[in-house]
């Protein structure tokens, strides 16, 4: 049976380590992607929040639909939105962290979240140097490491996904670059689901071609547009899916939020039910 979740060994190890060291922390900084604040929450945050205060950072503000993001900023307690590439929002985050600094020593914090949301980039900005490796693929950081800066002792941690997520959930996260599509069903399947999601949720404007009734035909037209051709003029659908998802997640097709406060989680999307509605 094909895999539907991505949970390599470093995630299990990271989970154990974070739970072990949580008691020694003053505050936890959870990074989520502002384009899906519900679906990109950390599976560990419920248990961590029971023992330590949490500051929530919504990254990739620059790629999010501004109107929907404004709704989120009113709805989510302790949230800061940030464009980490431009350092926008950093001083507010730093101030929020420093409120937890005990008078006799530095503040101890861990940056946690699912893969590829910007944890290591935020850590580097807080630490004031490029100590942790940053990269635009999920799973760059593989271990829990401590970094020290004036007044702060910061833990970088690997992106951790829910090993018990429902079928399709990690495929949805692959649209944001937070899970590996090639591991959880393949680029073509993930892209077909994305086409269905966008059509079903009034976001067809983010599809780079005129959407056909059939998602497979739509993806084929996308593949032709992106030059994903193989012998006989046929489309390499896996490559077409990859190019479409990469363009979508990088924001080249437009700004978006897959979720609004009070609405459904994107990871709960059921493409089969959407079929009958479209």
Ligand X SMILES: Nc1nc2c(ncn2[C@@H]2O[C@H](COP(=O)(O)OP(=O)(O)OP(=O)(O)O)[C@@H](O)[C@H]2O)c(=O)[nH]1
* Residue 178 or 191 having the CB closest to ligand X: 178
Decide the pairing of beta strands 107-112 and 27-33.
parallel
Angle of helix 119-127 relative to helix 90-98, nearest 10 degrees, comes to 70
Which one among 120, 124, 190, 236 touches Mg ion, defined by CB under 5 A? 120
* Residue 120 or 199 having the CB closest to Mg ion: 120
CB of 218 vs ligand X, minimal distance in Å: 26
- Residue of minimal Cβ distance to ligand X: 159
CB of 175 vs Mg ion, minimal distance in Å: 19
39 binds Mg ion (CB under 5 A): no
What is the rounded CA–CA span in Å between residue 223 and residue 239? 8
Residue whose pair of structure tokens reads 């929530």 in the numeric block: 56
Q: Which of these ranges, 32-40, 74-82, 116-124, 187-195, lies near Mg ion under the rule CB under 5 A? A: 116-124
* Residue 40 or 189 having the CB closest to Mg ion: 40
249 binds Mg ion (CB under 5 A): no
The answer to whether residues 223 and 236 touch, using CB atoms and an 8 Å cutoff, is: yes
199 binds Mg ion (CB under 5 A): no
* Residue 37 or 158 having the CB closest to Mg ion: 158
Instruction: List, as own/partner pairs, every contact residues 8-16 make where C-beta atoms lie below 8 angstroms and the sequence separation is at least 24, other chains included.
Output: 8/139, 10/139, 10/142, 10/143, 10/158, 11/158, 11/159, 11/160, 11/161, 11/163, 12/163, 13/143, 14/142, 14/143, 14/144, 14/157, 14/158, 14/160, 15/44, 15/160
Q: Bin 106: left if φ > 0, else alpha if -120 < ψ < 50, else beta.
A: beta
Which one among 41, 59, 141, 218 touches Mg ion, defined by CB under 5 A? 141
Q: Residue 14 binds which entry of ligand X, Mg ion, none, with Cβ cut-offs from 5 to 8 Å by kind?
A: none
* Residue 121 or 207 having the CB closest to ligand X: 121
Using CB under 6 A, list all residues that contact ligand X. 59-60, 62-63, 82-85, 113, 115-121, 134-136, 138-141, 158-159
What is the rounded CA–CA span in Å between residue 99 and residue 21? 20
Q: Which residues bind Mg ion (CB under 5 A)?
A: 119-120, 140-141
């Amino acid at each position: 049976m094909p895999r539907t979740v991505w949970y390599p060994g470093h995630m299990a190890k990271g989970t154990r380590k974070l739970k072990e060291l949580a008691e020694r922390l003053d505050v936890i900084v959870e990074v989520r992607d502002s384009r899906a604040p519900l679906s990109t929450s950390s599976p560990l945050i419920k248990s961590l929040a029971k023992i330590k205060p949490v500051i929530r950072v919504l990254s990739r503000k620059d790629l999010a639909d501004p109107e929907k993001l404004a709704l989120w900023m009113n709805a989510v307690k302790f949230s800061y939105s940030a464009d980490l590439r431009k350092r926008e929002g950093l001083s507010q985050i730093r101030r929020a962290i420093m409120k937890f600094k005990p008078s006799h020593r530095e503040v101890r914090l861990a940056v946690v979240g699912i893969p590829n949301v910007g944890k290591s980039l935020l850590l580097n900005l807080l630490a004031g140097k490029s100590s942790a490796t940053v990269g635009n693929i999920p799973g760059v950081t593989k271990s829990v490491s401590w970094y020290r800066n004036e007044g702060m002792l910061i833990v970088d941690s690997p992106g951790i996904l829910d090993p018990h997520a429902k079928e399709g959930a990690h495929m949805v996260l692959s649209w944001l670059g937070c899970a590996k599509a090639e591991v959880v069903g393949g680029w073509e399947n993930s892209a077909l689901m994305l086409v269905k999601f966008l059509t079903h949720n009034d976001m067809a404007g983010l599809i780079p071609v005129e959407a056909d009734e059939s998602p497979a035909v739509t993806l084929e037209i996308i593949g032709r547009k992106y030059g994903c051709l193989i012998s006989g003029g046929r489309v390499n659908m896996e490559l077409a899916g990859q190019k479409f998802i990469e363009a979508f997640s990088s924001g080249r097709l437009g700004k978006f939020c897959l979720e609004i406060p009070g609405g459904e989680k994107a990871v709960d999307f059921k493409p089969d039910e959407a079929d009958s509605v479209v």
